[in-house]
Each structure stands twice: as structure tokens, then as C-alpha cells.
Chain A
């Protein structure tokens, strides 16, 4: 019996201690009319050898292509040590660290994680993770409305340059509470929100402005000007950032005169493989005065009965297991193991390593932009970029991408899926993992696809 250690004599002795004649008797409180007799619709059991064969076959056909898709999930080198340590049983099979004395490993690691994220974002308080970048943005919107004491507005200004799936997730999560998302257009030439146009485009009060940096198109927003404008209007500023880009880009805590109030993002680029979109993790940092409005777990340093330093889950009065219907969020389980991996990943890269990864990704993307321009494929937007670019491929981008996939190249994300005016554009990402030969393959596949269409 897989994973059940009982021998026949164990069962006999245990039933006798209980005073029952059979295991079946232990279910006698379930009304007979409701009982089912087994689960005959399930497939029969397999041995580990058989399941291994099955899964090897299943996985072998997938993901053989050279990947240039980003669009929220980025392919970076993950050091071998990251997952070898993260999958040690002591991290992998532990529960949430509620019993602090028996969980100091996980708790100290989360404290170190929070410190790293605070350092990267320039905001002093980090939580211990949310589910992913998109749901973290939804939580930030809810938090901004809660923390909004300047006006009673339930409106959030949401630029169309924010990842379309993030906007969809925010809508799903915040709309039951009557929060309104106001779409902000982006400048069609620069590919970012025009700070000068905001006055006309976003009249009236709002609780917060969302600033994606870089935005979905890989373009850098005018974060300083946007932040100052929002603060001038009495709004909070919610930044959505790529953590790898923060090695090079201004920390959100320093945007404009006062800095962003809440910063969230997708933690995947820090040590999580692409893995079909998850598990990843959402991160969230904020100003100290908002700490008690945060959703999710937070670890704090304190002392024990002997005066020794140690770590505990703190500010638990915000959370669902204490505050129930008045909690800041319903979140309980978060993405702990992904945070374990990210912490190890950041420690291995260090400031220099993270800068090199960010710089190489940015440089490789620029190389591809130049190679494509030589074939007549120009970037859609003029704004400065990080490591992703929207490129016009001179025809239906879905068809071009499908043809390139046949050649073993995943060419990018067709932007027409979310922006009808960009049907001829692909969103392409080149990280540090790609070589010059990989770029040659991209260009060759693109030329073949365009010649065929």
C-alpha cells in the first residue's frame, strides 16, 4: 500500500484498542444513503517506475523550442544550489512557521528575504509573499483603498500599459467589493503613460495610481513625474516592478519627491523556473506607516526568554486566523518555498551578479532590436526599454509566431491578443540566457516565416 506502513497485526491491535471490529465500523456516523463504494472511475495504481516512464514521455514533447517569450514570465539561469537546497526536506516538508521555536530556519530565511526585498525596492517593510504578481497587485489595490484616509474614493487608476492578465486578475478580485478600475491610455508613440495628459484623462478623486516599471511592453514609465502627480492629487502610488530590473533601475522608494507607497511584483525572475506559469510568488513592500494594513504573513525579529535573538510571525492581528471577517485579506497559505528559492538565488547572485544578469538581458534585447531593424522590423514604441520589446513583424503576428514555432523558435507574445491595434506586433524578450547563435536562429526563423506569408 503506497505510503501506508500498517501491517495486518498493527491493524488488529489498533482496532482492538479502539474497540471496533473493522476499519469500516469507524465510518458508521456517515449516513448510509450518502456512501459510495470506492472510486472506480480513477485509473489503477502505478508503481513509481511506471509513473516515471509516463511523466518522462509527457515532458519530453514539451518545451523543446528556443524561447523568446517573456510577457510576465522570464527565463533566467537558476543556480543548481537554489533548488537543491530549497527541496531539502526540512524546507520542503515543513508547515507554516507558527511554532516559532521549531521553525527558526524558515523564519530567519523569510526575515532575510524581507530584508533583501526592502533593499531592492527602497521601501522598508516587506511581507513574506503573496501568490503571484497579478494577485499581489489586486491585494495592493485593496490595501490602498483601506489606507486611503485623504478621500473616500474607491477608484484605482490603472494604465493600459499594465500587464493585461494582471488587470484581469485585479478586476476579478476587487470588483466584488465595489472598487472601480479606471483605464488610463498610454501614449501610442512612446508606449507609456504621458504625465502631461493625466489631468485630462483622469479627472476626479482616486485612491491610487498604478505605475508599472517596466510596463508590459518593456518600456520605462516616467515614474518620477507620475508619482509626483499622483501625490499632488492625494493618491497613493502602487508600483508594479520586475525585481531583476531593480538592479539597474531607480528603487520605487525613491520615485519622485516622496517615493511609491506600495510596491508589488512577480518574484519569478528570482530563481523560479518558467514551469508553465507557476508556482511563482508575489512580493509586496510598503512604507512603515502602512505595515498594519498589509495582507499576508510578516516575520519580525525579537528575543526569547534567555534574551537570545530569534524570529517570529508578527502583526498577526491583521490575519484571517485571528481577525476572521475583519482581516486585511483571506490569504493563509502563501508561496513559502518559492521565497526560499528566491532568497538563496539573491544571495548567490549578490549585487554584482544581479546587475550583470539585468545588464546582459538589456543588452541582448538591444542586440536583437538592431538585428531586426536591419530586416525592416522596427520597435513599436520609442520609449526607453529594459529587456523586452514590442516589434512590428510586418503581418499578422499570430501567424508569424506560429510559423516560427514550427521552426523551433517561440518568437514572442502576439500583442493583438490584448491590443487590437497591435495585431502586427510581437512582444519579444531576450534574457542573459540567449547567445549570439540563438539570435541568428531567431532572425533566420523570422525571415523564413515572413517569406512564406
Chain B
């Protein structure tokens, strides 16, 4: 049932709008709406029930184990939410004077400094509104750096074949062509291919470390040397920062610019698709190009750093100062963990991943890189099961939903066939991991004994598998009163 189907002409949530209709200046007809906006007409309780019921059709961290690789679905502390929603924070207009914003600005300044410490970068800007916008900011800074030096011959960005899709898409948005670098048999960047690709056209390389295949890129210093020698810069995709907090820092690995996904590592909620926050950090040579605004601390108080202070900035990425409310949630999380808690995140996310990997191997699952340590995540490949039993990674993922577990990431990275990328995070207990192993083992058993059940899963949710081809071909993306009336 759609909210529109609950609608009855004249029904209202009357407390939610002015009690009287105001007299407005009469606008000339050319400016006026011709027919009423087709919003639903429902009571307040209709709305509360409808959306509460819809929420109950979701899997979420608060209700299920959610081991999505590369997404870091850890517990989102409730305090982060309630403290970011204190009235003083919610009511602050983005153009409020600095003198009446010192509390908020203090939080932002301390967040910048804590992120600098965690990453080993020289300076952080909080304005990018998601990881992909952080990537854009990073590559745009690389471009601005080369151009400021009059070096316009660099037209390529190198990207490993295992990279997130946002990496090549970002390079294109920044006007670069993408050159893919293959991954070698042990999961590291193929050094011979890299050496052949690096040259005077190289603007930079985008790397994730630990990489998207769930292993630490061991030759990172060698890669950094190679790219820097050729005049290129190194971009760090911070999607997997959770695995290395307090162990090793991107700045120390030789990266010039990084983005962090605060909605992953620093536990702000994913919100069913966002909002995130994609803060960027840079080394000394990229500081002049950081996106504005930043917060600066002076003796008289905190102030905004704008275009006037940073004339070479790549500019603004949002109308105001980014996803402030998300940044406040990350700030609260970091203060709760502090210097003691932050390295434990890496410890226990790595422990959980290696434990889960060992247990799944023991049950007969194949992992993509059996000779390597897992970082905070690892890849199971169902290539053998797909060949022998006709059961795919998608089938196993869907069957897991019946057992009350959200599926791991499927079919990413693209280079490993029939893969599940599994990231348990540090906030899950051993009992939860053991229950997941048990479900996986039962599905493996069902793959032989009851193949059809696995191949047609899920069976216990509100819907079974969808016709996605139909969705794209007979495109229905909006309910319309006229079409509904026409039947």
C-alpha cells in the first residue's frame, strides 16, 4: 500500500501547518500554480503507522548482522545522534556570525585535528559531503597542483582494476583518462604493469590500502617512490581506514591526498544510502588547494577560512560547509573512543575478520587469497560451488537473508569470480560470528541437498526475487493520480 492510496480528500494532519490560511499578495497568473500539488491527504497517525511499518521491512545494523564488505557496517552509537541533534546545533543557521557559532566551530576544529592525527596528513577539510565528493576534491587538487606548476601534459590517472567504481568515475569527472593497473596473483598491485604505465602523462594514482581485495598492499613505499619519481601524486581512498587505525597512517605511507568515509570508519549512520561525509586530508604541498571553508583557531576564537585566505583553493563543493550534522556525529564518536579506543577498532575488526575467515575455510569455503592475512575484510569465492552445484554468490547472498543475516557485498571486486566480500567489523560478538558461520555451513549443505531452495531464495521476506529487467524496461518511477484513476 502506497501513502497515496491512503489519501482521502480533505483529510489532514492539521497541527502541522498554520491554523489559518494567510492572505498573501496576489501574484500575476503567469507565476501561479495551475493545479494543486498531488501530495497525499492523510492524518498524522496514518503517516506514523505507514512509515513505521515500512521501516519494519528493512534490514539494518540495529536489527541484523550486516557484514557488507567495504561498507563498515558497525554499530552507530545513539549518543552520536542525540548529541548532534541538540537544539543549539539544529537551530544554527549556516550564516550565523562566528561569534555566535564558537561551540560548533570548536567541534569542527577539533575534528579536523583528530583526523589529521589519525591519518598523518598535514591538514584536513571537512566539506566534502560523501566519499565520492571527497575523491572529486582529491583529484581536483591533484589537477590544480600540476596546473599551478604549469605541468599540463599529465592526462592520466592510474587506477587498480580492483578499485571502487567511484575511482575511475571521479577521474573522468576531473577531466582525466583512466588507465587500469592489474592485480597480481597474491592480491597486490602488479608492479611490472605499474612500471610500464607510469610516466610523464601520469597525474596520479588512486589506491585503497588495505585494498579492496582485503589485503594490505605490502609494496606501498615502492609504489609511492615510483609514482613520485615520475612526477605523479598518490591518492588514498579511505574506504578501508577502519583496518589500520593506530597501526599505520596514509601520510606515513607516502600519500599526498586522502579522503575518509566518516560514515564508515567513524560510525556515522548510513541512513539507507546517506548522508555521509568525505573529509579530505593533504600533505604540505597540496594545502593551498584544499576546498573551503575550513575552521581555523586564533587567539580571539575560531574563524572560517575562505577563498580570501586560500586563493588557490579548488573552491566550494557545497552551498555551506558540508554535512555538518554528520561531522558532529563523527566528532562524538571520536571523543567516546579517544586515543585508547581508536587503535582497538583496528585490532578487533581485524581479529573478527581473520576469525570468520578461518571458520569459513574450516567449513569448506574457498577464500580468494588463502596465503594472506585478512585485514578487516576478506573474499570468499564460490567459483567451485557455481561450477559443481550451479549455486552462485547471489544465491548464497539471498539465502542468507532467510537466515536473518544481511548478505555480504556480492560481485565486488570484479576480478574475483562469484565473490562475497565479508566485513564483520569490531562491534560484533563471537556468538554472532559463530551463528553466521553456522548459517553459511547450512547453506553450503543445502546447495547439495536442496539446491532449488537456495536458488530461489529468499522465501521468508515480504517479497521474493525481483524482475529487474522489467523495472528498467517498463520504467515506473513515480505514482501518478491520473494513471491510478485510469486503472
Contacts and interface: CB of A to CB of B under 8 A. Distances in A.
B25 A105 contact: no
B340 A45 contact: yes
Contact of A89 (B61, B86, B90): B61
B60 A92 contact: yes
B390 interface: no
B133 A131 contact: yes
A168 interface: yes
Interface in B118-146: 118, 120, 129-133, 135-136, 140, 143
A269 B371 CA distance: 54
Interface in A27-42: 27-31, 33-36, 38-42
Interface stretch (B171-179, B191-199, B443-451): B171-179
Interface stretch (A196-204, A249-257, A439-447): A249-257
Given A92-B62, A273-B90, A350 B41 contact: yes
Given A56-B86, A57-B103, A119 B38 contact: yes
B225 interface: no
10 contacts: A23-B348, A39-B339, A59-B104, A90-B62, A108-B57, A131-B130, A277-B318, A337-B275, A349-B39, A413-B95
Contact of A99 (B342, B354, B406, B462): B406
Contacts of A274: 90-94
A335 B462 contact: no
Contacts of B252: 34, 36
B71 interface: yes
A327 interface: yes
A55 B427 contact: no
A97 B272 contact: yes
B103 A62 contact: yes
Interface in A93-116: 93-97, 99-106, 108-109, 111-112, 114-116
Contacts of B97: 401-402, 405, 410
A325 B336 contact: no
B27 A220 contact: yes
Given A35-B247, A337-B272, A356-B18, A61 B114 contact: no
Contacts of A72: 319-320
Interface stretch (B226-234, B279-287, B379-387, B463-471): B463-471
A181 to B, nearest CB: 12
Interface residues of B, number: 204
A42 B118 contact: yes
A165 B316 contact: yes
A314 B427 contact: no
A420 interface: no
A108 B52 CA distance: 12
Given A42-B338, A73-B320, A102-B59, A347 B47 contact: yes
A17 interface: yes
Interface string B5-21: 00000011101111011
Nearest to A88: B55
B37 interface: yes
Given A100-B466, A254-B34, A332 B132 contact: yes
B324 A4 contact: no
A344 B16 CA distance: 12
A114 B478 contact: yes
Contact of B129 (A34, A279, A319): A279
Contacts of B441: none
Interface in B189-238: 215-216, 218, 220-221
B316 to A, nearest CB: 5
Contacts of B87: 59, 63
B103 A291 contact: no
B354 A20 contact: yes
A226 to B, nearest CB: 12
A55 B83 contact: yes
B339 A38 contact: yes
B41 A91 contact: no
Interface stretch (A122-130, A183-191, A229-237, A374-382): A122-130
A344 B178 CA distance: 42
Nearest to A266: B319
